Amino acid sequence: MEVLCYIILSIYSMIARKWDNAMPFIPAAGCAKITLNYDQTGVPAANIFHASFAGAFDETLASDIANTFRDSWNALMMPNLASGLILETVEVRDLSSEDGLVFLFSDDLPHAGGVSQEFASNVAATITWQTGAAGRSQRGRTFLPGIPVGAYQKDVFIDAAVTNFQTGADGILDAMTTGGFPLEVVSFYHLGAPRAEAQQRIIISGRANKPVHTMKRRLV
């Protein structure tokens, strides 16, 4: 009985320590977090972006953000990805405050990738986002899932695939900027410590990278 009590108390102690060490909420004024939720042949996957907005955040504004991003993503990026990758929902959250509103949209979804090829679940393409400022916290990176096997050879993407990813990145940036929701790189930490407020930089360009990233490389 004493051993059982010790085990139970130890478990609660571990939970308490984990809760105490949870990351704090860091506000980003006028910033919406956009989460693309996929099904990857039964395995969940996601991409996260941040967009600037003006005015009061409500369901109408969130819907405008979601629709603008979804339409450009489906038109410009999904055609380059395997049909086994399915975009199911788009979540938009206001990061201005810890209790910011969150909306989940599924209009005109699900939407599958446009390439009828198999894909390796541990392979990703990367887009590097530039803000014009120097430093790692001033740039971002997106890992694209659902990469068709015909898009790469050994450790590099073929030129046509890089061109397609680049065209998609450029078009999505333009669409979001034109729609009034420019994409941002948001830095929540500095030298390992949380910022009082997130640092936000508007993205001015994206670069599709030629090297193939595997799950092993992504975790290093």
Residue-level pLDDT at 191: 85
**Could you tell me which of 191, 182, 95, 177 has the C-alpha nearest to residue 136?**
191
pLDDT in tens, 84-112: 999 999 999 999 999 999 999 999 999 99
Summarize pLDDT for 72-82 with one digit per residue, the tens.
999 999 999 99
**pLDDT value of position 45:** 93
CB atoms within 10 A of CB 214: 14
8-11, long-range: CB < 8 A, 24+ apart: none
Give the whole-angstrom CA distance, residue 72 versus residue 169: 10
pLDDT at 138: 75
pLDDT of residue 192: 85
Spatial distance between the Cα atoms of 153 and 156, rounded to a whole number of angstroms: 6
* Burial zone of 177 (CB within 10 Å; 0-12 exposed, 13-18 middle, 19+ buried): middle
Collect all residues with Cβ–Cβ distance below 8 Å to 196 and sequence separation of at least 6. 26
The low-confidence residues of the chain, meaning pLDDT below 50, are: 1-20, 216-220
**Spans of all domains in the chain:** 33-219
Give pLDDT, residue 219. Answer: 34
Tokens of 141: 């990176």
Q: Which token pair is 48?
A: 């996260």
Name every residue whose Cβ is closer than 8 Å to that of residue 78 and which is 6 or more positions away in sequence. Answer: 85, 87, 111, 112, 113, 114
Number of residues assigned to the chain: 220
